[in-house]
Structure 1
Protein backbone atom coordinates (compact mmCIF):
# COMPACT_ATOMS: atom_id res chain seq x y z
CA UNK A 1 0.00 0.00 0.00
CA UNK A 2 1.19 3.52 -0.80
CA UNK A 3 0.97 5.96 2.12
CA UNK A 4 1.10 9.45 0.61
CA UNK A 5 1.89 12.19 3.12
CA UNK A 6 2.53 15.89 2.80
CA UNK A 7 5.47 16.51 5.12
CA UNK A 8 7.95 14.41 7.11
CA UNK A 9 11.49 14.57 8.39
CA UNK A 10 12.56 11.36 6.62
CA UNK A 11 10.56 8.68 4.83
CA UNK A 12 13.18 6.11 5.84
CA UNK A 13 12.62 6.97 9.50
CA UNK A 14 8.84 6.78 9.05
CA UNK A 15 9.07 3.42 7.28
CA UNK A 16 10.76 1.88 10.32
CA UNK A 17 7.39 1.97 12.11
CA UNK A 18 6.19 -1.65 12.61
CA UNK A 19 2.79 -0.72 11.17
CA UNK A 20 4.41 -0.85 7.73
CA UNK A 21 4.96 -4.31 6.30
CA UNK A 22 6.57 -5.83 3.23
CA UNK A 23 5.70 -3.88 0.10
CA UNK A 24 4.39 -0.79 1.87
CA UNK A 25 5.54 2.58 0.57
CA UNK A 26 5.88 5.89 2.39
CA UNK A 27 5.79 8.73 -0.16
CA UNK A 28 6.28 12.29 1.06
CA UNK A 29 5.77 15.50 -0.87
CA UNK A 30 8.43 17.14 1.27
CA UNK A 31 11.23 15.92 3.58
CA UNK A 32 12.97 18.19 6.07
CA UNK A 33 15.81 15.80 6.93
CA UNK A 34 16.17 13.42 4.00
CA UNK A 35 19.42 11.46 3.96
CA UNK A 36 21.70 10.30 1.18
CA UNK A 37 24.79 8.12 1.13
CA UNK A 38 28.02 9.16 2.90
CA UNK A 39 26.02 11.37 5.26
CA UNK A 40 24.81 13.72 2.54
CA UNK A 41 21.47 15.52 2.77
CA UNK A 42 18.81 14.84 0.12
CA UNK A 43 16.68 17.90 -0.62
CA UNK A 44 13.86 18.29 -3.12
CA UNK A 45 11.35 21.06 -3.95
CA UNK A 46 7.85 20.19 -2.81
CA UNK A 47 5.67 18.53 -5.43
CA UNK A 48 8.26 18.23 -8.19
CA UNK A 49 10.02 14.93 -7.59
CA UNK A 50 9.54 11.53 -5.96
CA UNK A 51 10.90 10.97 -2.47
CA UNK A 52 9.74 7.68 -0.99
CA UNK A 53 10.76 4.58 0.96
CA UNK A 54 9.82 0.97 0.28
CA UNK A 55 9.63 -1.57 3.11
CA UNK A 56 11.01 -5.02 2.23
CA UNK A 57 11.31 -8.17 4.34
CA UNK A 58 13.91 -10.36 2.57
CA UNK A 59 14.18 -12.97 5.32
CA UNK A 60 15.52 -15.48 2.79
CA UNK A 61 18.64 -13.42 2.04
CA UNK A 62 21.90 -14.06 3.95
CA UNK A 63 23.36 -10.96 5.55
CA UNK A 64 26.62 -11.38 3.61
CA UNK A 65 24.64 -11.16 0.35
CA UNK A 66 22.60 -8.10 1.27
CA UNK A 67 24.04 -6.15 -1.65
CA UNK A 68 21.96 -8.34 -3.98
CA UNK A 69 18.90 -6.55 -2.65
CA UNK A 70 20.54 -3.23 -3.54
CA UNK A 71 21.09 -4.60 -7.03
CA UNK A 72 17.40 -5.51 -7.37
CA UNK A 73 16.31 -2.05 -6.19
CA UNK A 74 18.70 -0.29 -8.58
CA UNK A 75 17.95 -2.52 -11.56
CA UNK A 76 14.23 -1.89 -11.13
CA UNK A 77 14.98 1.81 -11.53
CA UNK A 78 16.98 1.33 -14.72
CA UNK A 79 14.16 -0.90 -16.02
CA UNK A 80 11.63 1.85 -15.28
CA UNK A 81 13.66 4.56 -16.95
CA UNK A 82 14.25 2.40 -20.02
CA UNK A 83 10.47 2.02 -20.36
CA UNK A 84 10.25 5.83 -20.37
CA UNK A 85 12.92 6.28 -23.04
CA UNK A 86 15.82 7.16 -20.70
CA UNK A 87 19.06 5.17 -20.78
CA UNK A 88 20.65 5.01 -17.33
CA UNK A 89 23.57 3.41 -15.55
CA UNK A 90 24.17 2.43 -11.93
CA UNK A 91 26.99 4.32 -10.23
CA UNK A 92 28.36 2.08 -7.50
CA UNK A 93 27.05 1.73 -4.96
CA UNK A 94 23.52 2.87 -5.77
CA UNK A 95 23.19 6.21 -7.56
CA UNK A 96 21.49 6.18 -10.96
CA UNK A 97 23.12 8.27 -13.68
CA UNK A 98 21.95 9.44 -17.09
CA UNK A 99 25.17 10.09 -18.93
CA UNK A 100 27.39 11.80 -16.36
CA UNK A 101 24.51 13.37 -14.45
CA UNK A 102 22.77 12.12 -11.32
CA UNK A 103 19.10 11.22 -11.70
CA UNK A 104 18.47 9.17 -8.54
CA UNK A 105 19.89 8.75 -5.06
CA UNK A 106 19.28 5.60 -3.03
CA UNK A 107 19.82 4.85 0.66
CA UNK A 108 19.07 1.31 1.86
CA UNK A 109 19.06 0.53 5.58
CA UNK A 110 18.90 -3.04 6.93
CA UNK A 111 17.91 -4.88 10.09
CA UNK A 112 19.34 -8.33 10.70
CA UNK A 113 18.00 -11.42 12.45
CA UNK A 114 20.73 -13.97 13.04
CA UNK A 115 22.49 -14.56 9.75
CA UNK A 116 19.75 -13.18 7.47
CA UNK A 117 18.03 -9.91 6.75
CA UNK A 118 14.78 -9.32 8.58
CA UNK A 119 13.68 -5.92 7.30
CA UNK A 120 15.07 -3.42 4.83
CA UNK A 121 14.00 0.10 3.98
CA UNK A 122 14.93 1.40 0.54
CA UNK A 123 14.83 5.18 0.43
CA UNK A 124 14.72 6.56 -3.10
CA UNK A 125 14.80 10.10 -4.46
CA UNK A 126 14.05 10.53 -8.18
CA UNK A 127 14.46 13.88 -9.92
CA UNK A 128 11.26 13.89 -11.95
CA UNK A 129 9.97 17.34 -12.96
CA UNK A 130 12.53 19.68 -11.40
CA UNK A 131 13.98 22.20 -13.85
CA UNK A 132 16.26 24.30 -11.63
CA UNK A 133 18.77 22.89 -9.15
CA UNK A 134 20.95 24.29 -6.41
CA UNK A 135 24.17 25.38 -8.19
CA UNK A 136 26.14 23.79 -5.33
CA UNK A 137 25.06 20.35 -6.57
CA UNK A 138 27.70 19.01 -8.96
CA UNK A 139 25.74 17.19 -11.64
CA UNK A 140 21.96 16.78 -11.15
CA UNK A 141 19.42 16.15 -13.89
CA UNK A 142 15.71 15.35 -14.02
CA UNK A 143 13.54 13.17 -16.21
CA UNK A 144 11.77 16.27 -17.48
CA UNK A 145 15.06 17.82 -18.56
CA UNK A 146 16.09 14.63 -20.33
CA UNK A 147 12.81 14.05 -22.15
CA UNK A 148 11.46 17.56 -22.48
CA UNK A 149 8.09 16.79 -20.93
CA UNK A 150 6.19 16.56 -17.65
CA UNK A 151 5.79 13.18 -15.90
CA UNK A 152 2.89 12.15 -13.67
CA UNK A 153 4.60 11.14 -10.46
CA UNK A 154 1.96 8.70 -9.18
CA UNK A 155 2.02 6.83 -12.50
CA UNK A 156 5.82 6.74 -12.40
CA UNK A 157 5.85 5.44 -8.81
CA UNK A 158 3.47 2.63 -9.70
CA UNK A 159 5.58 1.73 -12.73
CA UNK A 160 8.65 1.52 -10.51
CA UNK A 161 6.90 -0.66 -7.95
CA UNK A 162 5.89 -3.08 -10.70
CA UNK A 163 9.50 -3.26 -11.86
CA UNK A 164 10.68 -3.75 -8.29
CA UNK A 165 8.24 -6.61 -7.78
CA UNK A 166 9.73 -8.37 -10.82
CA UNK A 167 13.33 -7.87 -9.69
CA UNK A 168 12.51 -8.87 -6.11
CA UNK A 169 10.84 -12.05 -7.37
CA UNK A 170 14.01 -12.79 -9.34
CA UNK A 171 16.03 -12.41 -6.14
CA UNK A 172 13.60 -14.50 -4.09
CA UNK A 173 13.71 -17.26 -6.71
CA UNK A 174 17.46 -17.49 -6.23
CA UNK A 175 18.49 -16.07 -9.61
CA UNK A 176 21.55 -14.37 -8.16
CA UNK A 177 23.60 -14.93 -11.30
CA UNK A 178 20.97 -13.17 -13.40
CA UNK A 179 20.89 -10.17 -11.09
CA UNK A 180 24.68 -9.99 -10.97
CA UNK A 181 24.92 -10.19 -14.75
CA UNK A 182 22.34 -7.45 -15.34
CA UNK A 183 23.81 -5.23 -12.63
CA UNK A 184 27.30 -5.57 -14.07
CA UNK A 185 26.08 -4.74 -17.60
CA UNK A 186 24.49 -1.52 -16.34
CA UNK A 187 27.39 -0.27 -14.24
CA UNK A 188 28.50 3.29 -14.81
CA UNK A 189 32.06 3.40 -16.22
CA UNK A 190 32.36 -0.38 -16.49
CA UNK A 191 35.55 -1.36 -18.31
CA UNK A 192 36.76 2.24 -18.50
CA UNK A 193 39.84 3.74 -16.90
CA UNK A 194 39.07 6.61 -14.54
CA UNK A 195 40.63 8.09 -11.39
CA UNK A 196 39.46 6.90 -7.96
CA UNK A 197 40.02 8.53 -4.59
CA UNK A 198 41.15 6.59 -1.51
CA UNK A 199 40.67 7.35 2.21
CA UNK A 200 44.15 8.91 2.54
CA UNK A 201 43.19 11.48 -0.09
CA UNK A 202 45.32 10.07 -2.89
CA UNK A 203 43.93 9.32 -6.34
CA UNK A 204 44.92 6.70 -8.88
CA UNK A 205 43.55 5.50 -12.21
CA UNK A 206 41.92 2.08 -12.40
CA UNK A 207 39.53 0.08 -14.57
CA UNK A 208 36.25 -1.14 -13.08
CA UNK A 209 35.82 -4.88 -13.60
CA UNK A 210 32.58 -5.48 -11.69
CA UNK A 211 31.00 -5.87 -8.25
CA UNK A 212 30.83 -8.85 -5.89
CA UNK A 213 27.54 -10.04 -4.26
CA UNK A 214 29.02 -8.57 -1.07
CA UNK A 215 29.05 -5.15 -2.74
CA UNK A 216 32.83 -4.99 -3.11
CA UNK A 217 33.98 -3.01 -6.14
CA UNK A 218 36.55 -4.79 -8.31
CA UNK A 219 39.23 -2.51 -9.75
CA UNK A 220 42.20 -3.35 -11.97
CA UNK A 221 45.10 -0.99 -11.33
CA UNK A 222 47.80 0.25 -13.69
CA UNK A 223 50.26 -2.34 -12.41
CA UNK A 224 47.81 -5.12 -13.36
CA UNK A 225 46.81 -5.88 -9.76
CA UNK A 226 43.10 -6.55 -9.20
CA UNK A 227 41.81 -5.39 -5.82
CA UNK A 228 38.41 -5.25 -4.15
CA UNK A 229 37.07 -2.27 -2.20
CA UNK A 230 34.06 -1.95 0.08
CA UNK A 231 31.91 1.15 0.52
CA UNK A 232 33.93 4.09 1.93
CA UNK A 233 37.23 2.43 0.93
CA UNK A 234 37.16 4.12 -2.48
CA UNK A 235 35.11 6.72 -4.32
CA UNK A 236 34.70 8.03 -7.84
CA UNK A 237 36.46 11.18 -8.99
CA UNK A 238 33.89 12.97 -11.16
Structure 2
Protein backbone atom coordinates (compact mmCIF):
# COMPACT_ATOMS: atom_id res chain seq x y z
CA UNK A 1 0.00 0.00 0.00
CA UNK A 2 1.24 3.50 -0.86
CA UNK A 3 0.40 6.20 1.68
CA UNK A 4 0.75 9.74 0.36
CA UNK A 5 1.23 12.54 2.86
CA UNK A 6 1.38 16.27 2.27
CA UNK A 7 3.83 16.89 5.11
CA UNK A 8 5.70 14.87 7.71
CA UNK A 9 8.84 15.31 9.78
CA UNK A 10 10.61 12.40 8.11
CA UNK A 11 9.16 9.52 6.12
CA UNK A 12 11.47 7.14 8.01
CA UNK A 13 10.07 8.41 11.31
CA UNK A 14 6.49 8.05 10.05
CA UNK A 15 7.16 4.56 8.70
CA UNK A 16 8.18 3.37 12.17
CA UNK A 17 4.51 3.34 13.13
CA UNK A 18 3.41 -0.28 13.63
CA UNK A 19 0.42 0.23 11.34
CA UNK A 20 2.79 0.13 8.35
CA UNK A 21 3.69 -3.41 7.35
CA UNK A 22 6.00 -5.17 4.91
CA UNK A 23 5.83 -3.60 1.46
CA UNK A 24 4.10 -0.41 2.56
CA UNK A 25 5.38 2.91 1.24
CA UNK A 26 5.18 6.30 2.96
CA UNK A 27 5.51 9.03 0.33
CA UNK A 28 5.60 12.66 1.47
CA UNK A 29 5.67 15.82 -0.62
CA UNK A 30 7.37 17.74 2.17
CA UNK A 31 9.65 16.67 5.01
CA UNK A 32 10.41 19.12 7.78
CA UNK A 33 13.24 17.00 9.20
CA UNK A 34 14.32 14.72 6.39
CA UNK A 35 17.72 13.18 6.92
CA UNK A 36 20.38 11.32 5.00
CA UNK A 37 23.58 9.52 5.77
CA UNK A 38 26.36 10.98 7.94
CA UNK A 39 23.83 13.15 9.76
CA UNK A 40 23.01 15.24 6.68
CA UNK A 41 19.60 16.82 6.23
CA UNK A 42 17.51 16.24 3.11
CA UNK A 43 15.59 19.01 1.36
CA UNK A 44 13.40 18.64 -1.71
CA UNK A 45 11.02 21.09 -3.43
CA UNK A 46 7.39 20.03 -3.17
CA UNK A 47 5.96 18.25 -6.19
CA UNK A 48 9.23 17.71 -8.05
CA UNK A 49 10.96 14.66 -6.61
CA UNK A 50 10.25 11.38 -4.84
CA UNK A 51 10.86 11.26 -1.08
CA UNK A 52 9.55 8.07 0.45
CA UNK A 53 10.24 5.19 2.81
CA UNK A 54 9.72 1.52 2.07
CA UNK A 55 8.95 -0.82 4.97
CA UNK A 56 10.53 -4.28 4.80
CA UNK A 57 10.47 -7.18 7.25
CA UNK A 58 13.48 -9.36 6.31
CA UNK A 59 13.21 -11.77 9.22
CA UNK A 60 15.19 -14.36 7.25
CA UNK A 61 18.32 -12.17 7.19
CA UNK A 62 20.98 -12.38 9.94
CA UNK A 63 22.05 -9.08 11.48
CA UNK A 64 25.59 -9.63 10.21
CA UNK A 65 24.30 -9.71 6.63
CA UNK A 66 22.19 -6.56 6.79
CA UNK A 67 24.32 -4.92 4.09
CA UNK A 68 22.91 -7.48 1.66
CA UNK A 69 19.56 -5.72 1.99
CA UNK A 70 21.24 -2.44 1.08
CA UNK A 71 22.73 -4.16 -1.97
CA UNK A 72 19.33 -5.40 -3.11
CA UNK A 73 17.65 -2.00 -2.78
CA UNK A 74 20.53 -0.17 -4.49
CA UNK A 75 20.45 -2.62 -7.39
CA UNK A 76 16.69 -2.08 -7.72
CA UNK A 77 17.30 1.65 -8.05
CA UNK A 78 19.84 1.16 -10.85
CA UNK A 79 17.40 -1.26 -12.52
CA UNK A 80 14.76 1.48 -12.38
CA UNK A 81 16.94 4.05 -14.08
CA UNK A 82 17.78 1.55 -16.80
CA UNK A 83 14.06 1.47 -17.62
CA UNK A 84 14.37 5.17 -18.52
CA UNK A 85 17.64 4.93 -20.43
CA UNK A 86 19.71 6.48 -17.62
CA UNK A 87 23.01 4.81 -16.78
CA UNK A 88 23.79 4.89 -13.06
CA UNK A 89 26.30 3.50 -10.59
CA UNK A 90 26.17 2.71 -6.87
CA UNK A 91 28.35 4.94 -4.72
CA UNK A 92 29.19 3.05 -1.54
CA UNK A 93 27.39 2.81 0.70
CA UNK A 94 23.94 3.80 -0.62
CA UNK A 95 23.98 6.78 -3.00
CA UNK A 96 23.26 6.40 -6.70
CA UNK A 97 25.29 8.43 -9.18
CA UNK A 98 24.89 9.29 -12.85
CA UNK A 99 28.41 10.07 -13.98
CA UNK A 100 29.91 12.05 -11.10
CA UNK A 101 26.58 13.49 -9.98
CA UNK A 102 24.20 12.32 -7.27
CA UNK A 103 20.69 11.36 -8.32
CA UNK A 104 19.59 9.31 -5.27
CA UNK A 105 20.28 9.37 -1.55
CA UNK A 106 19.25 6.50 0.68
CA UNK A 107 19.21 5.79 4.40
CA UNK A 108 18.30 2.31 5.66
CA UNK A 109 17.47 1.90 9.34
CA UNK A 110 17.21 -1.59 10.82
CA UNK A 111 15.61 -3.11 13.92
CA UNK A 112 16.67 -6.55 15.14
CA UNK A 113 15.09 -9.46 16.94
CA UNK A 114 17.90 -11.49 18.45
CA UNK A 115 20.36 -12.54 15.70
CA UNK A 116 17.97 -11.68 12.84
CA UNK A 117 16.63 -8.51 11.31
CA UNK A 118 13.01 -7.80 12.19
CA UNK A 119 12.07 -4.59 10.41
CA UNK A 120 13.94 -2.32 8.02
CA UNK A 121 12.98 1.08 6.70
CA UNK A 122 14.58 2.24 3.46
CA UNK A 123 14.31 6.00 3.18
CA UNK A 124 14.90 7.06 -0.43
CA UNK A 125 15.10 10.42 -2.16
CA UNK A 126 15.11 10.37 -5.98
CA UNK A 127 15.75 13.59 -7.91
CA UNK A 128 13.09 13.28 -10.59
CA UNK A 129 11.93 16.61 -12.06
CA UNK A 130 13.99 19.19 -10.17
CA UNK A 131 16.12 21.35 -12.46
CA UNK A 132 17.36 24.09 -10.11
CA UNK A 133 19.35 23.05 -7.04
CA UNK A 134 20.76 24.80 -4.01
CA UNK A 135 24.23 26.02 -5.07
CA UNK A 136 25.66 24.73 -1.79
CA UNK A 137 25.08 21.16 -2.98
CA UNK A 138 28.26 19.88 -4.62
CA UNK A 139 27.04 17.65 -7.44
CA UNK A 140 23.28 17.06 -7.78
CA UNK A 141 21.46 15.94 -10.90
CA UNK A 142 17.95 14.74 -11.74
CA UNK A 143 16.25 12.48 -14.21
CA UNK A 144 14.82 15.56 -15.93
CA UNK A 145 18.22 17.17 -16.36
CA UNK A 146 19.69 13.97 -17.75
CA UNK A 147 16.82 13.10 -20.09
CA UNK A 148 15.63 16.58 -21.06
CA UNK A 149 12.03 15.87 -20.09
CA UNK A 150 9.79 15.51 -17.05
CA UNK A 151 8.60 12.21 -15.60
CA UNK A 152 5.49 10.85 -13.93
CA UNK A 153 6.68 10.35 -10.36
CA UNK A 154 4.09 7.69 -9.52
CA UNK A 155 5.24 5.73 -12.56
CA UNK A 156 8.87 5.97 -11.46
CA UNK A 157 7.92 4.79 -7.97
CA UNK A 158 5.97 1.88 -9.43
CA UNK A 159 8.97 0.85 -11.52
CA UNK A 160 11.22 0.92 -8.46
CA UNK A 161 8.79 -1.13 -6.38
CA UNK A 162 8.61 -3.83 -9.07
CA UNK A 163 12.38 -4.06 -9.30
CA UNK A 164 12.77 -3.97 -5.55
CA UNK A 165 10.35 -6.85 -5.23
CA UNK A 166 12.43 -8.87 -7.67
CA UNK A 167 15.71 -8.10 -5.90
CA UNK A 168 14.16 -8.85 -2.51
CA UNK A 169 13.02 -12.23 -3.81
CA UNK A 170 16.60 -12.95 -4.92
CA UNK A 171 17.82 -12.11 -1.43
CA UNK A 172 15.15 -14.23 0.22
CA UNK A 173 15.97 -17.15 -2.10
CA UNK A 174 19.60 -17.05 -0.95
CA UNK A 175 21.08 -15.72 -4.19
CA UNK A 176 23.76 -13.84 -2.27
CA UNK A 177 26.62 -14.36 -4.73
CA UNK A 178 24.62 -13.07 -7.69
CA UNK A 179 23.60 -9.94 -5.78
CA UNK A 180 27.15 -9.33 -4.58
CA UNK A 181 28.63 -9.68 -8.06
CA UNK A 182 26.05 -7.41 -9.67
CA UNK A 183 26.53 -4.82 -6.94
CA UNK A 184 30.29 -4.93 -7.49
CA UNK A 185 29.96 -4.50 -11.27
CA UNK A 186 27.74 -1.46 -10.80
CA UNK A 187 29.94 0.28 -8.22
CA UNK A 188 30.91 3.89 -8.83
CA UNK A 189 34.66 4.26 -9.48
CA UNK A 190 35.28 0.52 -9.59
CA UNK A 191 38.86 -0.27 -10.56
CA UNK A 192 39.89 3.36 -11.16
CA UNK A 193 42.28 5.30 -8.97
CA UNK A 194 40.77 8.30 -7.18
CA UNK A 195 41.17 10.22 -3.95
CA UNK A 196 39.66 9.13 -0.65
CA UNK A 197 39.88 10.24 2.97
CA UNK A 198 40.47 7.31 5.30
CA UNK A 199 40.71 7.02 9.07
CA UNK A 200 44.08 5.28 8.95
CA UNK A 201 45.92 7.13 6.16
CA UNK A 202 44.24 10.50 5.71
CA UNK A 203 43.75 11.54 2.07
CA UNK A 204 45.07 8.90 -0.32
CA UNK A 205 44.82 7.72 -3.89
CA UNK A 206 43.34 4.25 -4.21
CA UNK A 207 41.17 2.07 -6.42
CA UNK A 208 37.96 0.33 -5.39
CA UNK A 209 38.18 -3.44 -5.70
CA UNK A 210 34.75 -4.23 -4.33
CA UNK A 211 32.81 -4.54 -1.11
CA UNK A 212 32.44 -7.33 1.43
CA UNK A 213 29.02 -8.84 2.18
CA UNK A 214 29.33 -7.21 5.61
CA UNK A 215 29.67 -3.79 3.98
CA UNK A 216 33.37 -2.95 4.15
CA UNK A 217 34.69 -1.01 1.14
CA UNK A 218 37.83 -2.59 -0.31
CA UNK A 219 40.44 -0.06 -1.44
CA UNK A 220 43.70 -1.00 -3.16
CA UNK A 221 46.27 1.59 -2.11
CA UNK A 222 49.13 2.88 -4.26
CA UNK A 223 51.62 0.73 -2.33
CA UNK A 224 49.67 -2.39 -3.22
CA UNK A 225 48.08 -2.99 0.18
CA UNK A 226 44.37 -3.66 0.49
CA UNK A 227 42.33 -1.72 3.04
CA UNK A 228 38.85 -2.64 4.27
CA UNK A 229 36.75 0.28 5.53
CA UNK A 230 33.45 0.36 7.36
CA UNK A 231 30.90 3.15 6.99
CA UNK A 232 32.42 6.49 8.08
CA UNK A 233 35.96 5.08 7.91
CA UNK A 234 36.40 6.10 4.26
CA UNK A 235 35.02 9.08 2.37
CA UNK A 236 35.04 9.85 -1.36
CA UNK A 237 36.80 13.04 -2.42
CA UNK A 238 34.65 14.48 -5.22
CA UNK A 239 35.44 17.83 -6.82
CA UNK A 240 32.63 20.36 -6.83
CA UNK A 241 31.28 21.03 -10.30
CA UNK A 242 31.65 24.53 -11.67
CA UNK A 243 28.96 24.36 -14.35
User: Which stretches of structure 1, 4 residues or longer, exceed 4 Å deviation after superposition?
Assistant: none
Alpha-carbon distance in structure 2 between the residues aligned to 1:27 and 1:19: 15
CA offsets 1:89-115 (integer angstroms, 9 cap, x no match): 000001000000000000000001111
| TM-score, normalised relative to structure 2 | 0.97
Alpha-carbon distance in structure 1 between the residues aligned to 2:133 and 2:207: 31
Please, which runs of 5 or more residues in structure 1 have no aligned partner? none
Aligned residues: 238
Alpha-carbon distance in structure 2 between the residues aligned to 1:88 and 1:12: 25
For the aligned residues, what is the CA RMSD?
0.9
1:226 paired with 2:213, answer no
Secondary structure in structure 2 of the residue aligned to 1:66: helix
Match of 1:188 in 2: 188
Secondary structure in structure 1 of the residue aligned to 2:26: strand
Alpha-carbon distance in structure 1 between the residues aligned to 2:201 and 2:65: 29
Match of 2:32 in 1: 32
Alpha-carbon distance in structure 2 between the residues aligned to 1:215 and 1:167: 18
Please, which runs of 5 or more residues in structure 2 have no aligned partner? 239-243
Alpha-carbon distance in structure 2 between the residues aligned to 1:222 and 1:150: 43
Match of 1:84 in 2: 84
Alpha-carbon distance in structure 1 between the residues aligned to 2:219 and 2:204: 11
| TM-score, normalised relative to structure 1 | 0.99
Match of 2:159 in 1: 159
Alpha-carbon distance in structure 1 between the residues aligned to 2:69 and 2:174: 12
Match of 1:198 in 2: 198
Worse overlay, 218-227 or 122-131: 218-227
Alpha-carbon distance in structure 2 between the residues aligned to 1:200 and 1:61: 31
Alpha-carbon distance in structure 2 between the residues aligned to 1:25 and 1:236: 31
Superposition deviation, residue 223 in structure 1: 1.1
Alpha-carbon distance in structure 1 between the residues aligned to 2:60 and 2:201: 39
Match of 1:45 in 2: 45
Match of 2:215 in 1: 215
